[in-house]
Amino acid sequence: MARSGRLRSGAAAKLKRWRKGHSSDCNPETRQHRLAARSRFCSRPAEKSNLTVDAVKLHNELQSGSLRLERPSDSAQLRMEEDDAGEAATEKSSGTFLSGLSDCTNVTFSKVQRFWESNSATHKEICAVLAAVTEVIRSQGGKESETEYFATLMTTLEVVESPESLAAVAYLLNLVLKRVPSPVLIKKFSDASKVFMGIMSSQACSSSTSALRWVLSCLATLLRKQDLAAWSYPVTLQVYHGLLSFCVHTKPKVRKAAQYGVCSILRGSEFMCGDAAPEHHPVAPSTAKFCVQEIEKAGGTKEATTTLHILALLRDLLPCFPAAVVKTCCETLLRVMTLSHVLVTACAMQAFHSLFSAQASVACLPAELNAQIITALYDYVPSMSDLQPLLTWLSTMEQAHINLGRLQKDLCWAHLPRLFSAAMNCFLSPHSQVVAAAAQTLESLLSKCIAPHMDDLGTVSVSAPAPAAYLCKMFRSVEEGLTYRFHAAWDKVLQVLEVFFETCGKQCHPIMRKCLQSLCDLRLSPHFPYTAEVDQAMGAAVSAMGPEVLLEAVPLEIDGKEQTLDFPRSWLLPVLRDYVEGARLGFFTSYFLPLAAALKSRALEFTKAGKSVEAKIYDTLQWQVWTLLPGFCTHPTDVLGAFKGLARTLGMAISERPDLRPTVCQALRTLIHKGCETDAERAEVGRFAKNFLPILFNVYSQPEEDGGSSTQRRSVLDTVRAYLTITNPQMVCGFLQKASEKLTSPDSSEFARLSILDLVVAMAPYADEQSLGSLYRTIQPSLQSKERSMQKKAYRVLEEVCAAPHAPCQAFVRSHLQDLQAALLDSLKSAASPAKRPRLKCLFHIVKQLSAEQEPFVTALVPEVILCTKEVSVGARKNAFVLLVEMGHAFIRFGPTPQEAMQRFLLLIYAGLTGSVTMISCTVLALTRLFFEFKDHLELSVVEQLLQNVCLLLASRTRDVVKAALGFLKVTLLLVDTKLLAKHVQTMLEAVGNLSDDMRRHFRMKLRNLFTKFIRKFGFELVKGLLPAEYHKVLVNIRKAEARSRKQRALRQAAADTDEEEAPLAQPRGDSMEEILADSEDEEEEEEERQRSKEWRKQARQKGQAWLKEGEDDEPLNFLDPNVSQRVLATKPGPKRSRGVSHDFQVSEDGRLIIHEEEEEVDDDEAKGADEEMADVLQDVGLHSKKSQKRRFREEPDDEEPEAGTYPQYRPGGSGIHRQLDKEPAFGVEYRSKKGKGDVKKKGQLDPYAYIPLNRAKLNRRKRAKMQGQFKGLMKGAQRGAKAGRRNRLKAQRP
């Protein structure tokens, strides 16, 4: 936009002035647009005007909305064509065009009504025909049923002459035929089929295909509605064969319509969907005969177009044919595959694939025929270097064997070894896609054909008879993949072996021992790249076979008596640790425990000898052996017999071996949670609680120097909690009594008492009511203790008792409810800050059980709960808001009505507004949360009163109060309806506008977000008019930011829509009814379609090209070789050219991409900032937690306070006081002058490189001449210096 202002001096003389009224004289001579406009608006038209009185009346009716679907230009044009004498049309006639379409009540034509405004001539014709037909039905008193539309459209179909009208009627008839009752179509079959056949014969050679394809669709629908008896009549067969003949039509749309119709008849006829449906359609044999004849008629022509069309039809129809016909068709398919035509072979393979994937019945595809097809397809194995045909062949064979396994398992297993051998040969292919497809095929066959029947087999040995012998052959084929010949595909071979171990390892481990040894040897080979894959395969073997079988086949070769420190198979220990489960616990006792003891003794020997390295190695090995124990405790098979032999060793390890304590505790927890599945097993493990729990108690009660780190103590406490779930309650009561005695003992240290209280917290939920009463009397003095830790632990005990779902705990709370209320109220003044969180949780569980008689207790809690909303602890604040909401629910329970109850509760809260500044801010936060939670139970007067009180608080001089009040306003804008809020907008904005300057500066971002919400709800002008002038600049800035944000969102949406439009869409299989309404039949589009068909044929010819691979080493090609078909390639042989892929990343020397991570740019989006501000407000009232707090809650348990030093350290970043002070100095700063601008030379250092300060403003094109002049002297000086230096060098070189 040009800059406004006065012109420079002297510029006025250079401008050309226009005389008044002649400002357009300097335009070009060709002014046809201006002349046209002048003739249109400034003069009367020469021809007859279309503006009539009725046209004006029609325009007025359209503007008033009385005519919904009419267009004035079309209506006027229609009236002018009908009224040649110039007589004005009546008001009734002005609404006749498309009126039958606009108010058509039949839902069949809803799709036509949606597209009535289309500009396509075809669409307009369809709409016009529908409108005319509807008017005819109405004029005869019809009800617009499908049958009436069918009769009228059939009559219309016989009399229309133009191709456009014929196509429109056929399309509408195609829509309505699907909803016409079947008896009507059966009765009118003869007449309707005669009309359709006549149109088909007349339109067969027409250039327009619209009418023909919709007539074909109508005929298919008509045939699909016929009953089974109708197919015995010759006329029905004649009509069907007429439709079938169009399946090889030259026009694609006609051909697709005919093929779709044939498929719908054979697969979706109404009598085929009933209970007494025949196995196949009566015309299925004749259809198959037609397909075979067409293929044989086409023969081995070069293009094979007809053959391809028939193959596309057979792809859908083969599963519908009877078995004898399927065999004939398959033989024909196999014969055409010998033509070595790439496209024909691919289509035939797709037909086979669809036959097997359909999982047809035995009447269609018997198991013997399936097996014969499999055997025949081995003669058509493509070459290993032919990518796409080989992938198709593998997929087809996979589906063939899966279907055969469904039909007959034994026959499938007999054919699987040959496929495994052929698929393993594919691992030698140079294409990685083929290798991956072969591996996927084998894995799929193992999971779908082998795995379901493995339970029926016993242990498979090398000499086992069939079907186990077939399994041995399959495994040998895969095992051969470990030879060096397959080294390029070892990763895929290992994946197949992993699936083989998972599927068959339990029964076939005798034949897999050699393979396990080969895998171990292969992993030890130098620079072996697939160690992770070997570990996964061995892990699958461990899971399936068990560790005993694996270690019998591949021993660890570790016994503690080694002469060297190689340990070549120590890598098996981590594999066993990660994958062992469901094993015998006794095997760990008999094999690994002695091994761990031997390794530990050897480590002690080395330690005494001063060999620390060797001692550390053996110590690590014995620790790795112990880490296997949690895996052995996962679903063990012999808990009842083996645990008693292991319990003593585990107890000693917990008490005497601090290094093994976490592992053993984890094993016990795993055994309790995942190993004790029956009551007998739980009783067996719980029987040793009298031994394990005292050991765990003693370990936990010891100081950290003896009891280990805090992590170990937490592990011990978790183990105690797990063991208490299967411990006898009487034993728990005994332990609880002893713990209570130690708590009151004067000899116990503070650490011991705190540890005992932790154990009491764990045991309390499992005690009986009598023990809980004694425990309550013991800990009651601690509720008022001056030691904060003791007080917090005592509240934790009460919290666990009140929250426990067990019957004794609930009975204790009910019987001691009065005592608990009194104790909690008495301890209110002495409650320490760390104890607030469990105290509030106790109150929460107690308030849930109160009745209306205990309302005074809830009333007494209100001040404490309000003040706790600003506690230091996040957990305390959270519990305070939860308790506040629960108190609101309690008042609603107390009654009489929710509205009165909430009004009574809010009166208690309002008292806090008269207290101190902290109390006022806490009260506003509490009111915000209650308003958010109970907005549906508050009367309008209460909400208005609440809003007025909060607006008064905005005049406070305390920032906390103003912050809480602003948060309440934001929540109000979020919750209250705009209409209800409109009457209070002035009050709220005046209160905000009267904020002091200090408050306005401090809360400028909060106010900005609040104003944004006001503008979105009530508009800019209203908000601006209600705020003082000092806010207007901020409001204008907000409006600009909102407009900019909307514009950016619109641009992003438009870009996304453009990307979706440019993305290539998958071509649908057939034409839908929407496509005809979105498709045009103009001549230009037909021409474009012809051009596209030419290009498609050209591409098809290129795709259809085949290459003949010559013999190896100048050996002549033998055409009599049965495998000669593998020499015909669809992929051009020869070395591939690697296409250079261009990307924006650097590449290192070893080929890895170098990607530099950049800091995320902060998107300055106003809407985003407002959402974050609202999230902060909701977080303040306990509704949401910030990410850091969520992470802290996930990492820390709910019953522990964070320890000192665990908070994240501060990191500088940003501006102001948060800026980073220790920045690296800028490059060249040492040359900067201290007195003036520019650089200076320094003695003993290099000269500064920058003599000209770089300025971004000098890139301005308008200042280019000035800059050039400024640097001319510099360039000339440099050139003179260069010339002088050259002359001096030449002088020096002269003799």
pLDDT for 65 beyond 90: no
Alpha-helical runs (H) found in 484-592? 490-524, 531-545, 547-553, 572-579, 585-587
Q: pLDDT digits over 493-536, tens only?
A: 999 999 999 999 888 888 999 999 999 999 999 889 999 999 99
**Of 1042, 1063, 1045, 1041, which is closest to residue 1053 (Cα–Cα)?**
1045
| Average pLDDT across the chain, whole number | 79
pLDDT band at 1181 (very low <50, low <70, confident <90, very high): low
pLDDT for 1205 beyond 70: no
CA gap 246, 735 in Å, rounded = 90
CA gap 583, 576 in Å, rounded = 11
CA gap 433, 391 in Å, rounded = 8
Q: Are 207 and 1090 in contact (CB under 8 A)?
A: no
Phi-psi region of 181 (alpha: psi -120 to 50; beta: other; left: phi over 0): beta
Phi-psi region of 871 (alpha: psi -120 to 50; beta: other; left: phi over 0): beta
CA gap 163, 166 in Å, rounded = 5
CB neighbour list of residue 878: distance below 8 Å, 6 or more residues apart: 1182, 1185
**Of 693, 758, 773, which is closest to residue 725 (Cα–Cα)?**
693
User: What are 1108's strand-pairing partners?
Assistant: 1128
DSSP state of 786: S
Phi-psi region of 245 (alpha: psi -120 to 50; beta: other; left: phi over 0): alpha
CB neighbour list of residue 665: distance below 8 Å, 6 or more residues apart: 654, 715, 716, 718, 719
Longest Cα–Cα distance in the chain = 127
Query: Nearest 5°: CA angle at 96, between 95 and 102?
Result: 85
CA gap 503, 199 in Å, rounded = 61
Q: Please tell me which of 14-28, 33-47, 679-693 the model is most confident about, judged by mean pLDDT.
A: 679-693
Q: Are 1208 and 1201 in contact (CB under 8 A)?
A: no
Q: Which residues in 37-74 are b (16+ Cβ under 10 Å) and which e?
A: eeeeeeeeeeeeeeebebbeebeebbeeeebebbebee
**CA 183 from centroid of its chain's CA atoms:** 49
| Strand ranges inside 1048-1186, DSSP E | 1107-1108, 1128-1129, 1146-1147, 1153-1154
Neighbours of 624 (CB within 10 A): 18
Task: Record the tokens describing residue 331, joined without a space.
Answer: 């033989």
Q: Are 1043 and 1058 in contact (CB under 8 A)?
A: no
CB neighbour list of residue 114: distance below 8 Å, 6 or more residues apart: 1077
CA distances from 491 to 398, 486, 533, 820, 862 (A): 21, 10, 7, 67, 68
CA distances from 706 to 224, 656, 699, 700, 701 (A): 86, 10, 8, 10, 10
pLDDT for 1048 beyond 50: yes
pLDDT band at 19 (very low <50, low <70, confident <90, very high): low
Q: pLDDT digits over 665-700, tens only?
A: 999 999 999 988 889 999 999 999 999 999 999 998
**Positive or negative: CA dihedral 1077, 1078, 1084, 1087:** negative
**CA 367 from centroid of its chain's CA atoms:** 41
CA gap 393, 910 in Å, rounded = 80
Q: Are 840 and 868 in contact (CB under 8 A)?
A: yes
Of residues 1084 and 791, more confidently modeled? 791
Q: What is the mean pLDDT of residues 767-785?
A: 86
Tell me which residue has tokens 């063991």: 723
CB neighbour list of residue 639: distance below 8 Å, 6 or more residues apart: 585, 671, 675, 676, 681, 684, 685
- Please state which of the ranges 434-443, 961-970, 1249-1258, 1260-1269 shows the lowest mean pLDDT: 1249-1258
Tell me which residue has tokens 């904005």: 989
- 3-class secondary structure, 1108: strand
**Of 361, 362, 363, 259, which is closest to residue 317 (Cα–Cα)?**
259
Percent composition of the chain: helix, strand, coil (DSSP 3-state, to 5) = 70, 0, 30
pLDDT band at 118 (very low <50, low <70, confident <90, very high): low
pLDDT for 812 beyond 90: no
pLDDT for 1217 beyond 80: no
- Please state which of the ranges 163-167, 261-265, 438-442, 454-458 shows the lowest mean pLDDT: 454-458
The helix (run of H) or strand (run of E) holding residue 376 is helix 367-377
pLDDT band at 940 (very low <50, low <70, confident <90, very high): confident
Tell me which residue has tokens 């949670």: 673
CA gap 919, 863 in Å, rounded = 9
User: What are 1239's strand-pairing partners?
Assistant: 1232
pLDDT band at 1211 (very low <50, low <70, confident <90, very high): low
Q: Are 493 and 442 in contact (CB under 8 A)?
A: no
Of residues 256 and 743, more confidently modeled? 256
Tell me what pLDDT residue 11 has. Answer: 46
pLDDT for 80 beyond 60: no
Q: How long a stretch of residues is the chain? A: 1295
Of residues 28 and 391, more confidently modeled? 391
Q: pLDDT digits over 731-742, tens only?
A: 989 988 888 888
CA distances from 273 to 233, 265, 268, 435 (A): 21, 11, 7, 43
| Strand ranges inside 1102-1182, DSSP E | 1107-1108, 1128-1129, 1146-1147, 1153-1154
Q: Are 761 and 797 in contact (CB under 8 A)?
A: yes
CB neighbour list of residue 401: distance below 8 Å, 6 or more residues apart: 374, 412, 415, 416, 419, 445, 449
